Amino acid sequence: MVGVYALIVGALKLGFLLDFVSGPVLTGWISAVALVILLGQVGSLVGLTVGSTTVEIIRGVLGHLDKIQGMTACIGLTGIAMLLVFEHVGKTIGKKNKWVKFVCTSRAAVVLVIYTLISWGVNKNRAEPDYMWAVTEIKSNGLQKAKSHDTALLAKVAGRAVAPFIAMSIEHLGVGKAFGLRNGYDIDRSQELVFLGTANMVASIQGSMASGGAMSRTAVSSEAGSKSPLNFIVTAGFVLLTLYELAPALYWIPKATLAAIIIMAVAHLVSPPKLFYRYWRISFIDFVGSMLGFWVTLFTSTEIGLAVSVGFSLVYTLLRLAFPRLVKVSHSQTENNHWTLSKSRPNDSDLDVPPEAYLVRFTSDLLFPNAERLKNSIVEDIKVRYAPTTEMVEAAEKNRMWNDSTKRRVTKIRHREQISPIETDHYPLRYIVLDFGMISFIDTTGVLLLIELKMTLRKYLGKDLQFRFVNMAPQVLERFTRSEWEFAREGEERTGNEDVIYSSFEVALLHRDGDEKDEKVEFVEKTLDV
């Protein structure tokens, strides 16, 4: 059913619906799901039989500390320690030695092989009840034969498959988006969902579990230099070899070792407290949404946790629309005091945008339902109207992925709209001017998407690209300040990569870095003349 949902959503081009899950809600929910999985492995890690819910697991472990099996706990905890050592070595020595990096990247498989050999050596001459620790006792005879689905079972799992579909889709698209940002390409969310649905529907015929792209496997493939899905020939070959030729070895895998590997795999999905603290600083409502996603999921279920947190975010957004803020001005207020109703907003016909600048004028608040779409629209338009520098083209071609269709899509749009791109080798794009005059509210997802926008454009146009903000409301500026966005005020000399807040369009569009120094020199010269 997960595959059916993914295929339907992808085929109908409804991938944008996942944008209604805001970043903070997603962070809290995924952290809770990972923690639930982690807690579920604690029993196997120390040799205890515990319940399935969070409360039952905590009560079962804390209430039976005296029944922990020493050898099982030793196997599990040393497995975690070994995985941590491999991870640390990979981050330090692995940068200098590719073989060390390969071994450390494959640390889960290495640890599994080591402890399986130990388990086999210790338990092979023992009867099953006398094993030193619990083993998986997996007896594999290869792949299952293809068979039709049980319609009664499909009806039972149809409702419960929604949460796994959302979780798998968000993780799959999130991983694709993260590595696309790293390697300079864009993904088509609907196309990814079509592939995801098709793959899961075909695999389900042989009893496969629902699966999608995972951060760990994608990271391994990326670090190994994989550029296309053809790497599955090697990975699938090893899986089939294991199922058919190495099946007896699977029997001796210690359950504690499997628990250690699973715990370390999901531990990285639990967001650190400082991230939630950052949400609290930026927006209290987003912080509440993330906390609902975390605590409700942790103590009830993934479905209820996701529904409650997403519902809270949507209801709050609708309430903001239902109770808009108004600016009310009467004659008595303007009779003795000058009142500026709006900030400088020239007509489009009055604007003269220089070649090194690009103007973006937002017409509504920047919130989680529209932030992703607005970011993609800006990136695509800039790629259509500005050609990247030769240096960036060479770097992109060197690391080009098989699924990067950006160049073909951009060329098609240029031909259709009859646009000749500006050559940034001769006329580099240096400033993105953002008009915030119509934005009275921005949430955490909006701020994070602007950070992502800057990263994407700097990869395309160069690291010196600067954002310039105009007409930013005080409450919006406060959100950026709380997010630790670095700003320099108009007239101040920039000391690093700070973005600048300007008071007018004219200055934002025409001002060039270094003018502050010229003004200071001119002032000193005039003073000396006097």
Domain boundaries, the chain: 348-526
Q: Are 29 and 305 in contact (CB under 8 A)?
A: yes
Identify the residue whose tokens are 């996942």.
Answer: 18
Q: What's the confidence (pLDDT) of residue 528?
A: 29
Q: Are 355 and 422 in contact (CB under 8 A)?
A: yes
Reduced to 3 states (helix: H, G, I; strand: E, B; else coil), residue 149 is coil
- List Cα–Cα distances, 124 to 73, 118, 428, in angstroms: 20, 10, 69
Residue 335, exposed/middle/buried by CB under 10 A (0-12, 13-18, 19+)?
A: exposed
- List Cα–Cα distances, 441 to 22, 283, 389, 433, 476, in angstroms: 15, 10, 35, 18, 6
Q: What's the confidence (pLDDT) of residue 518?
A: 43
Q: What is the rounded CA–CA span in Å between residue 148 and residue 258?
A: 31
> Angle at CA 355, nearest 5°, toward 353 and 358?
55
Cα 429 from chain centre? 28
Q: Give the mean pLDDT of 257-269.
A: 86
Q: What's the confidence (pLDDT) of residue 183?
A: 67
Which pTM value belongs to this model?
A: 0.75
Q: Are 260 and 45 in contact (CB under 8 A)?
A: yes
Reduced to 3 states (helix: H, G, I; strand: E, B; else coil), residue 151 is helix
Residue 18, exposed/middle/buried by CB under 10 A (0-12, 13-18, 19+)?
A: middle
Q: What is the rounded CA–CA span in Å between residue 291 and residue 252?
A: 41
Q: Note the pLDDT tens digit of each residue in 45-63.
A: 888 888 888 888 888 888 8
Q: Note the pLDDT tens digit of each residue in 201-244.
A: 888 887 777 777 766 566 666 666 677 777 778 878 887 887 77
- Cβ of 43: how many Cβ atoms within 10 Å? 19
Q: What is the rounded CA–CA span in Å between residue 198 and residue 183?
A: 26
Q: What is the rounded CA–CA span in Å between residue 263 and residue 257?
A: 10
Q: Note the pLDDT tens digit of each residue in 480-518.
A: 988 888 887 766 666 667 788 888 877 888 777 655 444
Q: Are 108 and 262 in contact (CB under 8 A)?
A: no
Return the HEC string of 440-485: CCECHHHHHHHHHHHHHHHHHHCCCCEEEEECCCHHHHHHHHHCCC
Q: Mean pLDDT lowest for which of 58-62, 129-133, 292-296, 444-448?
A: 129-133
Phi, psi (rounded to 5 degrees) for 423: -80, 110
Structure tokens belonging to residue 160 = 């419960």
- Note the residue count of the chain: 530
Instruction: Please count the helices (runs of H) and the strands (runs of E) in the chain.
Output: 25, 7
As assigned by CATH, the class of the 348-526 domain is alpha beta
Residue 392, C-beta contacts closer than 8 angstroms, at least 6 positions apart: 459, 460, 461, 462
Phi-psi region of 131 (alpha: psi -120 to 50; beta: other; left: phi over 0): beta
Reduced to 3 states (helix: H, G, I; strand: E, B; else coil), residue 432 is strand
Q: What's the confidence (pLDDT) of residue 141?
A: 66
What is the pairing mode between strands 422-423 and 431-435?
A: unpaired
370, 372, 304: which is closest to 29 by C-alpha?
304
Q: Note the pLDDT tens digit of each residue in 300-311.
A: 887 788 889 989
Phi, psi (rounded to 5 degrees) for 134: -70, 135
List residues bridging with 272 in a β-sheet.
none
What is the pairing mode between strands 431-435 and 466-470?
A: parallel
Q: Mean pLDDT lowest for which of 224-233, 273-282, 288-297, 309-318?
A: 224-233
Q: What is the rounded CA–CA span in Å between residue 115 and residue 94?
A: 23
Phi, psi (rounded to 5 degrees) for 361: -115, 110
Residue type, 448: L
Q: Note the pLDDT tens digit of each residue in 65-86.
A: 888 888 989 999 999 999 999 8
Does the structure show a pLDDT above 60 at 526? no
Residue 176, C-beta contacts closer than 8 angstroms, at least 6 positions apart: 187, 192, 213
293, 289, 291, 311: which is closest to 302 by C-alpha?
293
Q: Give the mean pLDDT of 415-430.
A: 83
Q: What is the rounded CA–CA span in Å between residue 42 and residue 508?
A: 57
